[in-house]
A = this chain, B = another copy of it.
Amino acid sequence: MIEDKNPQRTSIAQLGEFGLIDHLTRNFDVTQESTLKSIGDDAAVLDFKDKKVVVSTDLLIEGVHFDLAYMPLKHLGYKAVVVNVSDICAMNAKPTQITVSVAVSNRFPLEALEELFEGITHAAKEYKIDVIGGDTTSSQKGLIISITAIGEAAEDEIAYRNGAKQTDLLVVTGDIGAAYMGLQVLEREKQVFQVNPNSQPDLDPYTYLVERQLKPEARTDVRTLLHALEIKPTSMIDISDGLSSEIIHICKQSKVGCNLYEDKLPLDPQFISTCEEFNIDSTTVAINGGEDYELLFTIDINDFDKIKGNPNFSIIGHMAEENEGIHLVTRANTKIALKARGWDALSE
């Protein structure tokens, strides 16, 4: 379908492990001042001087986190970086370096790995981060990607999940739910393709949704935006598992309650029309669908004037006393308890 049919195939075994690493990492430049020594030794060496170091890691498994039937390898490489960079952004920190480890089965030719690394290189350039190390090995089945991201921040800038106060406002960047609907569109096209391999998918009406699924971006801009507005988020998290799930994380760790307002949820028109077409309730998807990689954060209520009307941010609710619980306030003004229904990789 969208998968690249490259007729040229070079066996990875021909190059050997060290040859392969040299080949794949030749485009990784060093641009960060904090990178003293990158790839090529037992470890990379970093220098953060008086800044604090922030570290996050993710493991992506073929068939669990991605499907190569509709995920081009270049996009996958890009997305794997984004997922980790997003975690650093969610600390209100600046991403600076990543390590990338990849395991592949013999069915992958060199050209496939090159495509994957092209996406990784592209993301590293886009986000101005250095690839400082990694590991390349074979797998028994499928493609496995493990990325660790490193970032920096001043101690008083860092936003944890446990800092929300019961009078804070709840804010989200961008819009939500689109990545999940993009996946539904791609899954449908995959099924059509399996029945009739000659069918041409028409993804035009869903470009935004598909892009949100295949090429999400990490919100590295939010740190700068908030800094310019002189707002320090009291807590922050990225939306990878779904809005409900992330709100519950903040509430539990901050020991507060929350009221989330259905009519405040920022939804893209294409998202709404596609939910209608699929006959799915848009609010359900918006609060449970994951992989949007937007940032969810709380701010002091006194910062309301600084943020209201700003097109980058939507105020979607407010925190409350812990014993008030965590609720969605519907358009009909009824309160429904929020549940974490984010996709759980282990129960699938």
Contact = CB atoms under 8 A, between A and B. Distances in A.
A64 B137 contact: yes
Contacts of A150: 55
A146 interface: yes
Given A13-B346, A16-B344, A135 B42 contact: no
B41 A91 contact: yes
Given A146-B146, A151-B43, A135 B58 contact: yes
A99 interface: yes
A162 to B, nearest CB: 8
Interface in A44-61: 44-50, 52-59, 61
Q: How many identical subunits does the complex contain?
A: 2
Interface residues of A, number: 76
B142 A140 contact: yes
Contacts of A135: 57-59
A275 interface: no
Interface of A: 12-13, 15-18, 20, 36-37, 40-50, 52-59, 61-65, 87-88, 90-91, 93, 97, 99, 101-103, 132-142, 144, 146, 148-151, 153, 155, 158, 160-162, 236-238, 253, 340, 344-348
For the complex of A and B, 3 pairs with smallest distance between CB atoms: A146-B146, A43-B56, A42-B90
